Amino acid sequence: MASIELPLEAGRAPAPVQGWTLLAALPWFAAVAVLLLVPDLTYQPLGRELALIWGAVGGVLTLLGLFGNRLGRVGRWSALRGPWLFAIGAASVLWTVVTAKTGWLPQPFFPTPQAMLEVFLYDYGKILHSAAFSIWLLAKGFFFGAIAGFLIGVGMGWSRAVSYWATPLLRYIGPLPATAWLPLAFFIFPSSGSASVFLIAFSTAFPVAVLTWSGIAAVNRDYYEIARTLGASPLFLIVKVAIPSALPHVFVGLFMGLSTSFAVLVVAEMLGVEAGLGWYLQWAQGWAAYANMYAALFVMAAMCSGLITLLFRIRDRVLVWQKGVVRW
Amino acid sequence: MVTAALKEDLPGAGREISIEAVSHRFDLEGAPLPVLDDVSFTIEPGSFVALLGPSGCGKSTLLRLIAGLDHPASGAIRVDGAQVGAPDPSRILVFQDPTLFPWRTVRANVALGLEAQGTLKTEGHRIDAAINLVGLQGFDKAYPHQLSGGMAQRVALARALVNQPNVLLLDEPLGKLDSLTRLAMQTELVRLWQQSGLTAVLVTHDVEEALYLAQRVIVFGPRPAQVVADLTVDLPYPRHRGHPRIAELRHEALRHLGLEASW
């Protein structure tokens, strides 16, 4: 939409400054002022460093506001996100005031911005390591779960015998939350890591299997007849007709599976696995390190939304033919 | 020029189809519903025959039997003397809906048969010939949802012709097109049939379409279908819709269909 230029505007030079971006710089400078000029309630570390960072953000926004329209991609981004940049700056002011300056929010449950900076500055190694561990555990579980669910779903959609045996099992065991297996799984599996992989795979496989199955069942029968008159073998009918036709459903299953696997991952890490963001969260709680907990939540949110975005990208690429058929 | 390339790429080898005392019924919740009642006729190799009848009379069922998608309850269908068994790419059915695979481009849709038969590597050059044949050069990379109804049906025809079928079974292939596209496609069908030399069997309930396209029109009565008339359209191609002989035959066909009063 943004790329469509009205004929009237086409000949006109772009606006010299980005109003919203300039406006967005103000709360960031205000935050610096509040941080440096109003005394803290209790001692806070890293006040000057934080002021420097926020001041830099304000400075960059000022420059973007003045010259952004000549900067291409970055400029377009700031023009679009001006109101958000303003809101985040304003929130920083508010946060500083209600925690460090007035203590309206009870300390230490709501950490000050300085304390958060301290966590990221001095504990980033541990947090990143935990995040990497979580992603790796999730990737293993999701991979095996997606493959198993897909194969079960294709089998159920294709073969009456598989469907006869698998449907009741899937109906009975599938809806059970994977976390309910946790205590047992930690006993049965040789390590808590392999138990977690199994549980994540289990929670992923159920929605993927159900959606793949319904996708295969929904394939237009005429596609099979067309392919058969063109000389297709049964294998061709599965691989080149049924599966591609069912793929949109499979992706819905993958999205559902990924979402539930996050929950299983965190619970498994909290209860048994001695690493990962879930474990970090638990560990921080043990030390009453509230800033660290918020930091872990922040990184966890980035990780989950990043993985969902990645899956969206893959879907867009694989199902490019759907553009124009379905509104995304 | 195109014609010369086609002669080589799509050699004419129409086959004879004989329908021998074929009866068929559907099983509707336990109650048998007869759809074909002792139908017999023979189609000459390389000819264009139309099966005309009221909707739901069972003519499409007959086409499915010739394709091998279903098997007759009694009687036999032979193609060049051999009884029809499983579906085979030598007899290709084109449906009323183009039923292109939406996840495949035009080119990949046309390639479907060669891919299924495992001859894509050796016979791949026929894909371009087939796409050119139906006049869709430049649309290879388009997806089906980007095509109009007429273009989609052309792709369906190319997908059939690329396999060099001996028998082309057309189940109301123009039924869902708008009337102008339909007229243009009728002329196209005649051209494709003349160039390839295959045996064409067209199911339709459009009297004029049957008379404009076919050399012979077999008229069916209401279900269970029986042959009520076998008309020969003794006119050379290209035909003209306003020809008095077509009007005459039209009158006769309508009379056999019990619609004389509308004449």
Give per-residue pLDDT as tens, B50-96. Answer: 999 888 778 888 999 999 998 998 889 998 888 888 888 889 999 88
Q: Decide: helix, strand or coil at residue B204.
A: strand
Per-residue pLDDT reduced to its tens digit, A16-30:
788 889 999 999 999
CA distance A170 to A66: 60
A204 near A258, Cβ under 8 Å? yes
CA distance A94 to A254: 39
Q: Are strands B48-52 and B199-204 parallel, antiparallel or unpaired?
A: parallel
CA distance B32 to B38: 16
Q: Which of A227, A245, A321 sits opposite B116 (nearest CB)?
A: A227
- Please determine, for residue B6, whether its predicted confidence score (pLDDT) is greater than 50: no
What is the C-alpha R_g of chain B?
Answer: 18
A272 near A196, Cβ under 8 Å? yes
Enumerate the domain spans of chain A.
Answer: 7-103, 114-322
A/B interface, count of CB pairs below 8 Å: 68
Q: Name the DSSP class of A70.
A: G
Q: Are strands B82-83 and B74-79 parallel, antiparallel or unpaired?
A: antiparallel
Backbone torsions φ then ψ of A5, nearest 5 degrees: -100, 135
Q: Give chain A's mean pLDDT.
A: 88
Residue whose pair of structure tokens reads 């007849």 in the numeric block: A225
Q: Which of B88, B97, B102 sits opposite A231 (nearest CB)?
A: B88
Tell me the mean pLDDT in the region A276-298: 91
Using alpha carbons, list the distances in angstroms from residue A301 to A131, A179, A262, A310, B234: 11, 20, 10, 14, 77
Q: Largest alpha-carbon pair distance within chain B? A: 58
CA distance B89 to A227: 9
State the pLDDT at residue A253.
95
State the pLDDT at residue A324.
64
Partner-chain contact B97 A222, CB within 8 Å:
yes
Per-residue pLDDT reduced to its tens digit, A244-261:
999 999 999 999 999 999
Least confident range from A92-101, A235-244, B80-89: namely B80-89
Q: Do the interacting molecules here have an ipTM over 0.95? A: no
A222 near B CB under 8 A: yes
Q: Which residue of B has its CA nearest to A244?
A: B103
State the pLDDT at residue A56.
95
State the pLDDT at residue A9.
47
Q: Which CATH number fits domain A114-322: 3.50.50.60, 1.10.3720.10, 1.10.579.10, 3.30.360.30?
A: 1.10.3720.10
Q: Name the pLDDT band for A326 (thresholds 50, 70, 90).
A: low
Q: Are strands B48-52 and B17-28 parallel, antiparallel or unpaired?
A: unpaired
Partner-chain contact A231 B163, CB within 8 Å:
yes
- Please determine, for residue B101, whether its predicted confidence score (pLDDT) is greater than 90: yes
Per-residue pLDDT reduced to its tens digit, A117-149:
999 989 989 999 999 999 999 999 999 999 999
- Chain B nearest-CA distance from A241, in A, is 8
Instruction: Give chain B's domains with CATH numbers.
Output: 2-101+168-262 (3.40.50.300)
State the pLDDT at residue A147.
97
Per-residue pLDDT reduced to its tens digit, A56-79:
999 999 999 888 888 888 888 888
E-strand ranges in B44-90 read 48-52, 74-79, 82-83
A87 near B CB under 8 A: no
- Chain A nearest-CA distance from B116, in A, is 5
The structure tokens listed for A56 are 């830099």
A chain contacts of residue B89, beta-carbon cutoff 8 Å: 229-231
- Chain A nearest-CA distance from B53, in A, is 23
* Residue A39 burial by Cβ neighbours in a 10 Å radius (0-12, 13-18, 19+): exposed
Per-residue pLDDT reduced to its tens digit, A138-182:
999 999 999 999 999 999 998 999 999 999 998 898 888 888 888
Residues of B with CB under 8 A from a CB of A: 67-69, 86-89, 91-93, 95, 97, 99, 101-104, 112-113, 115-117, 143, 145-146, 159, 163
- Chain A nearest-CA distance from B13, in A, is 18
Tell me the mean pLDDT in the region B149-156: 90
A49 near B CB under 8 A: no
